[in-house]
Structure 1
Amino acid sequence: MYQVGYFVSGRGRLFQSAVQNLKKFEIFPAFLLMDEKADQSLEQFCSVREIPVYRFDGRNRNQFDHFVLEVCLEHNPDLIMLTFDKIIHPELLARFPRRVLNVHMALLPAFKGLNALSRALKTGVRFVGATIHEAVEQVDAGAIVAQAQVAVRPGEDTDSVGQRLFPLLELMYNQVIVWYAQKRVECDAAGRIWIRDASYGELSISPTPEISIRSILNDILPP
């Protein structure tokens, strides 16, 4: 059994998708950490599935760092997935080397930092996307694992392009967790990450996903 710890700020749709789609791969949630911005409905989602859930206030940095490390050491997940806007303390990264992944809403290394999607659109780029990368001390600087992209249409804003990007990100997110569970992630001498035996020929998502999922957008979730 492979266990994943999830850090969430916001609606937590990627977390919910992984919980519902990855059971068939013997991948299960170790816990959910929610910050002060996370949707309260996630607590009910976890309760009915008996997933340990913790809510913290990330505005107190010292308490946040201590609390997060304590939870992770208690559960010792195989992998930690980040979908929130807090910087991870170096001690946590040191305790879980190459086991902490971050989702960033831009095609790194461009547009690091907050509000990446809106900043990208303002520049007039023709493609926007999302990156999953290994977290390191420097913000959004870790080795890239996978990326998804969509072309920008005239007049689009962050909401409309985000709606088109999300299904690709959702599939990529689930697939990356599966690749880590399958121990197919390799790092070359230059520090670049490659997935063993994966295809890199797909334009919209690279590496090309190998799994199929039921999108969270098609599910009716608890209120």
Structure 2
Amino acid sequence: MGFTGDSLQFRVARNEIAILSSSPPMQARHRRIVILISGRGSNMQTLVQACREQDWPAGIAAVISNRADAPGLAWASGQGIATAAVPHRDYPTREAFDTALAEEIDRHAPDVVILAGFMRVLTPGFVRRYAGRLVNIHPSLLPAFPGLHTHAQALATGVQAHGCTVHFVTPVLDHGPVIAQGVVPVLAGDTAETLADRVLEVEHEVFPLAVRWLVEGRARLGEEGRVEVEGVARRLVVWQQGESE
């Protein structure tokens, strides 16, 4: 995929491609994934499709939202995936909501819990409950631009590269050991919307890579709290200038 007008091409580093084409480690087993969303769930849809098409040693056990009207729930249900809504407005405190959410998650016995556009700040107790198996994707190259409006922040500061980060979740918002990142250029004339569209495309490439590494047992936290991925030296997906320029 790419942007023809800007002569950009999407390229995945050779070592990532090699890992995708190889067999999973012998210790890999069928793992259960629960995905949390708040809206249409485009990243969730990408994960569901990759899991099926690439024959991951895993399955999507459930898709859960804090909004009963989240369009992504209807899509997941149409795919035969169990869905549930835990509306955050039904609970008096953040802690009460997180307790109810955790109870719903645990009904599906997940090995991995994925935040795919889940727009809630989670309490430290919730994060600790799923420590080492709670993963988020954030639309910036962390530690730059945590929080909201990341694309506008990038444009305002004049950075020349932007992107997304897949990371283990810690009690600190948008912080945690990095599993993989995707990088896009910031182009002259970009708006927050055009930049967001470009970043979303790289999200749809890097997120399935990172989650697949997790369920195959390749990705793990090292002794110093840094992520190590078996057989992968470069955990980066990048946009590069096209050869035709």
How many Å separate the matches in 1 of 2:225 and 2:130?
A: 17
1:53–1:184 distance in 2 versus 1, CA, 3 Å: same
Matched, 1:10 2:39: yes
Question: Aligned partner of 2:114: which letter?
Answer: M
1:59-208 mapped onto 2 (5 Å cutoff): 59=89, 60=91, 61-82=94-115, 83-200=117-234, 204=238
Deviation at 1:26, TM superposition (A): 3.4
Deviation at 1:119, TM superposition (A): 1.2
CA contact (8 A) 1:106 1:130 kept: yes
**Gap runs ≥5 in structure 1:** 206-223
1:168–1:29 distance in 2 versus 1, CA, 3 Å: same
Deviation at 1:201, TM superposition (A): 7.8
Match of residue 58 from structure 2: 27
Which stretch of structure 1 is more off in the superposition, 70-79 or 58-67? 58-67
Deviation at 1:182, TM superposition (A): 1.1
- Structure 2 counterpart SS, 1:173: helix
Which stretch of structure 1 is more off in the superposition, 127-136 or 93-102? 93-102
- Structure 1 counterpart SS, 2:88: coil
Question: Aligned partner of 2:73: which letter?
Answer: E
Deviation at 1:43, TM superposition (A): 3.0
CA contact (8 A) 1:6 1:29 kept: yes
TM-score, length-scaled by structure 1: 0.84
CA contact (8 A) 2:36 2:65 kept: yes
1:202–1:75 distance in 2 versus 1, CA, 3 Å: closer
Question: Aligned partner of 1:181: which letter?
Answer: V
Match of residue 81 from structure 2: 51
- Structure 1 counterpart SS, 2:107: helix
CA contact (8 A) 1:4 1:79 kept: yes
> Over the residues paired in the alignment, what is the CA RMSD in angstroms?
2.0
Q: Which has the larger radius of gyration?
A: 2
How many Å separate the matches in 2 of 1:36 and 1:172?
A: 26
- Structure 2 counterpart SS, 1:101: strand
1:152–1:171 distance in 2 versus 1, CA, 3 Å: same
Question: Aligned partner of 2:212: which letter?
Answer: V
Structure with the bigger RCO (C-alpha within 8 Å, sep 6+) is 2
Deviation at 1:115, TM superposition (A): 1.7
How many Å separate the matches in 2 of 1:48 and 1:84?
A: 20
Deviation at 1:202, TM superposition (A): 5.5
Q: How many residues align?
A: 204
Question: Aligned partner of 2:145: which letter?
Answer: F
CA displacement 1:146-196 (0-9 Å, x = unmatched): 111111011201221122222221111111111001111132332111211
How many Å separate the matches in 2 of 1:91 and 1:168?
A: 31
CA displacement 1:51-89 (0-9 Å, x = unmatched): 111123224434421221101221121111112221122
CA contact (8 A) 1:118 1:158 kept: yes
